[in-house]
Amino acid sequence: MGEMPLILSALAVLGVLALLALQFRPKETVRPDPRIDALSGQLHLLATQQTGSQEAMDRRLTELGNRVSDRLQQSASEAGQSLAELRERLAVIDEAQKKLDGLAGQMVGLQDILSNKQSRGAFGEVQLADLVRDVIPPANYEFQATLPGGKRVDCLLKLPNPPGSIGIDAKFPLEAYRALREAKDDLATAQAKREFTAAIRAHVKAIAEKYIVPGATAESALMFLPSEAVYAELHTSFPNLVEEAGRARVWIVSPTTLMATLTTIRAVLRDVSMREQAHVIQRRVRELMADVGRLDERVEKLQNHFAQSVEDVRQIRISTDKVTKRAGDIDSIELDAPAGDNAPLGVETITARIAKA
């Protein structure tokens, strides 16, 4: 398309030169040249073609400009939508970051709680209390109960004999467990195992001595570990400690196993309550049977009343039928005297006629 204007310009120049040459030639020598006419026609055709090409090019440029404008508008709209989505996602990320910061603060708080023995003990007691409250009726437990001898147990389950009341004490040997998990070599691992074993044995001994009171409690007690990880480590790596605690009548439980134990205890309490109320249920059943007997007698009397009422209605119907028949008979009697007899009828005559009828 760029060569076309140059060709047209060259042809135009050639045409102008040819016209000038013809103009300045002597008049006597001027002769019509058919090539000039042909050249003029070609120049006109080329000019027409150039005009058409220019118009087509303008149309194409206009269409191209419209397409570019539409594409730019679409791109701007998509970019705006993408920016809006990006802002929303950034808001979600910012909210998640706030939650993570809050969770990190809570973890730090939990870490502070667990690093202090008193706070850690309170943590275990709170978890124990929540589990007991969710399963056992309020009348069958007491927190910080005082046993004979002045010892206070974290929770005392009040159960009937046997087995009797069972004490539950929360213990959390976190330092020994952490030392065991963080040991880097065999020597540190062996030392951590000795410390963990000593801590568990001390807790078992204290529970057996303080919270198993002959005549006041059951012959066993529960040691509550408020950590499933510690409980799993104990049963996995120290089965001898678990057996030793069992021989001392101290059963070690975790949150999950304590929940199962409490559920079983609740079923036992319900069964005991049913047995205690058996005599009440029997008395109620006897009273119910007496009520049913009286109801049967009254139904029988009512049935007899209905039967008598039916008989009475039947007798009344017979009487009404007779009355109706008598009335018809009376209506059919001729009260006029016989011909030739003007004497009135007496009462005896009328009665005799009714009886005859």
Q: Say if residue 124 is in the same domain as residue 226.
A: yes
pLDDT of 249 strictly over 50:
yes
Domain closes at, from 251, 276, 301: 276
For the record, the structure tokens of 298 come out as: 């009254």
Domain closes at, from 253, 276, 299: 276
User: Do 174 and 114 form a contact (C-beta atoms < 8 A)?
Assistant: yes
Q: Look over the chain and give the mean of its residue pLDDT values, rounded to a whole number.
A: 76
Q: Say if residue 262 is in the same domain as residue 326.
A: no
Assigned domain for 23 exists? no
Q: Say if residue 292 is in the same domain as residue 272.
A: no
Residue in 203, 109, 111 with CA at minimum distance from that of residue 154: 203
Assigned domain for 41 exists? no
Domain closes at, from 233, 259, 276: 276
Task: Read off the pLDDT of each residue in 163-180 and give the average, rounded to a whole number.
Answer: 83
Cα(172)–Cα(176) distance, integer angstroms: 9
pLDDT at res. 350: 53
Q: Say if residue 122 is in the same domain as residue 208.
A: yes
Cα(226)–Cα(155) distance, integer angstroms: 14
Confidence grade of residue 14 (pLDDT, cut at 50, 70, 90): low
Helix and strand numbers (H, E) in the chain are 10, 5
pLDDT at res. 173: 79
Cα(144)–Cα(140) distance, integer angstroms: 14
pLDDT in tens, 273-330: 777 777 777 788 888 888 888 888 888 888 888 888 888 888 888 888 777 877 776 7
Cα(213)–Cα(220) distance, integer angstroms: 9
Cα(172)–Cα(99) distance, integer angstroms: 29
Structural domain boundaries enclosing 263: 116-276
pLDDT of 117 strictly over 70:
no
Task: Read off the pLDDT of each residue in 101-111 and give the average, rounded to a whole number.
Answer: 55
Cα(271)–Cα(274) distance, integer angstroms: 5
203 residue type, one letter = H
pLDDT at res. 113: 46
Q: Say if residue 199 is in the same domain as residue 293.
A: no
Structural domain tally of the chain?
A: 2
Exposed/middle/buried for residue 296 (C-beta within 10 Å: 0-12, 13-18, 19+): exposed
Report the DSSP beta bridge partners of residue 168: 155, 222
For the record, the structure tokens of 4 come out as: 């076309």
Q: Say if residue 240 is in the same domain as residue 338.
A: no
pLDDT in tens, 331-357: 666 555 454 455 454 555 555 555 555
pLDDT at res. 282: 79
CATH number at residue 136: 3.40.1350
The alpha carbon of residue 65 and the mean position of all alpha carbons in its chain are separated, in whole angstroms, by 58
Cα(238)–Cα(228) distance, integer angstroms: 15
DSSP 8-state secondary structure symbol assigned to residue 143: E
Q: How many residues does the chain have?
A: 357
User: Do 201 and 244 form a contact (C-beta atoms < 8 A)?
Assistant: yes
Number of neighbouring beta carbons within 10 Å of residue 257:
17
Question: DSSP letters of 104-136?
Answer: HHHHHHHHHHHHSHHHHHHHHHHHHHHHHHHHS
Task: Read off the pLDDT of each residue in 75-93 and give the average, rounded to a whole number.
Answer: 80
Q: Say if residue 260 is in the same domain as residue 290.
A: no
- CB neighbours of 259 closer than 8 A, spacing ≥ 6? 131, 135
Exposed/middle/buried for residue 41 (C-beta within 10 Å: 0-12, 13-18, 19+): exposed
Cα(181)–Cα(192) distance, integer angstroms: 8
Q: Say if residue 178 is in the same domain as residue 296.
A: no
Q: Say if residue 212 is in the same domain as residue 313.
A: no
Q: Say if residue 247 is in the same domain as residue 288.
A: no
Q: Say if residue 235 is in the same domain as residue 253.
A: yes
- CB neighbours of 119 closer than 8 A, spacing ≥ 6? 112, 113
Assigned domain for 163 exists? yes
Q: Say if residue 243 is in the same domain as residue 300.
A: no
pLDDT of 102 strictly over 50:
yes
3-state secondary structure of 146: strand
Cα(329)–Cα(320) distance, integer angstroms: 14
Please report, to the nearest 10 degrees, the dihedral formed by the alpha carbons of residues 177, 183, 188, 194 taken in order: 20
pTM of structure: 0.47
